Amino acid sequence: MPNTTLPSASISSNFQARKPYPPPTHSDLGASLPKNNDSYNVHFRHPGYPDTNNILLVLPALDSSEGSIHHETARIACAIIANCTWEGFLTETRKGRRIAAEADSLLTLKNYYFRIKEDPDDDPKYPIIPSFAHFQFPHDNLPPCWKSDIFRIPRSDILPRQSGLTEILLSRDVSCRVTSHTEGTEAAHLIPRSEEPWFSSNMMFQYTSRPATMTDPTDDARNAILLRSDIHTVFDQKRLVAVPKGSSWVVHVFAPGLTGELAKLYHNVTLQPLMDVSVECL
């Protein structure tokens, strides 16, 4: 009899590999970000010192396709450096008038001055906070925009009681609060463990669910969110933060890097819903 091979119902077509991924991108293709050579830095200056030595803060202009910076984000950042002087304001010149800008207006110049008094000659050399270690948390004195009802973060009463931090966050957040990925996530401390001395000396425990006498005070669900591991890494590198803009909590990129990939993927992206997170820790 001839040697014949009968078709088998258990054999399908031959293996075919899937295509490799293209370079990562956001669904909007970065349409709201500056084009390749249009980005620049904005310098925020202290009016009491010469321009050769008065830069308080430098922020990348990433908030529009033409290049700009969100007014309230920049103003609050400067106010923190000026010892939480929330009434401070920006001017275009050293002794000029405050700029006529709303909270969500976009600033387009490359230099601004941060003043704390209407009279430019009244206390022009105001003190600043030189480092995070010197920063004293402003209890009961958050910036007004951070206390707005539209940015209120709801509490939760259904979290596991006797679980570790990661288990609590997996139950509460389920997925990365930036990318919505469920795999490769981990607990990301908002105020890092390395700052436990600052955390304790500023009595930040009052914004968590842990009493002051507990060890590892930063290991609290109200001081943490679930992030994909790579997002966690750049978050710990202080390259991005969460800030209120418009009517949402969004990612703000402080250090986009040479490739710009971080900004293209995440800058101004609305966070996944936050639950039972302390706004004081953000």
Note the pLDDT of residue 120. Answer: 87
84-104: average pLDDT: 96
Residue 161 shares a structural domain with residue 108: no
Domain span holding position 167: 157-266
Residue 176 shares a structural domain with residue 248: yes
Note the pTM of the prediction, 2 decimals: 0.91
Residue 161 shares a structural domain with residue 102: no
Encode pLDDT of 113-136 as tens digits: 999 999 988 878 999 999 999 999
Amino acid at 190: L
Residue 167 shares a structural domain with residue 99: no
DSSP SS3 for 193: helix
The helix or strand, by DSSP H or E, that contains position 242, with its residue range, turns out to be strand 240-245
* 120 is a domain residue: no
* 180 is a domain residue: yes
Q: Which of 115, 144, 175 is the last residue of a domain?
A: 115
Encode pLDDT of 233-254 as tens digits: 999 999 999 999 999 999 999 9
Residue 163: band (very low, low, confident or very high) from pLDDT cuts 50, 70, 90? confident
* 171 is a domain residue: yes
96-102: average pLDDT: 96
* 130 is a domain residue: no
* 238 is a domain residue: yes
* 187 is a domain residue: yes
DSSP SS3 for 212: coil
Q: Tokens 């950042």 correspond to what residue?
A: 77
Q: Which of 62, 89, 115 is the last residue of a domain?
A: 115
Q: Which of 115, 144, 172 is the last residue of a domain?
A: 115
Number of domain units in the chain? 2
The beta-strand segments (E) located in 18-172 are 41-45, 55-60, 69-70, 89-91, 106-107, 111-115
* 279 is a domain residue: no
* 34 is a domain residue: no
Average pLDDT for the chain: 92
User: Which of 38-47, 64-73, 210-219 bottoms out in mean pLDDT, i.e. has the lowest?
Assistant: 210-219
Residue 162: band (very low, low, confident or very high) from pLDDT cuts 50, 70, 90? low
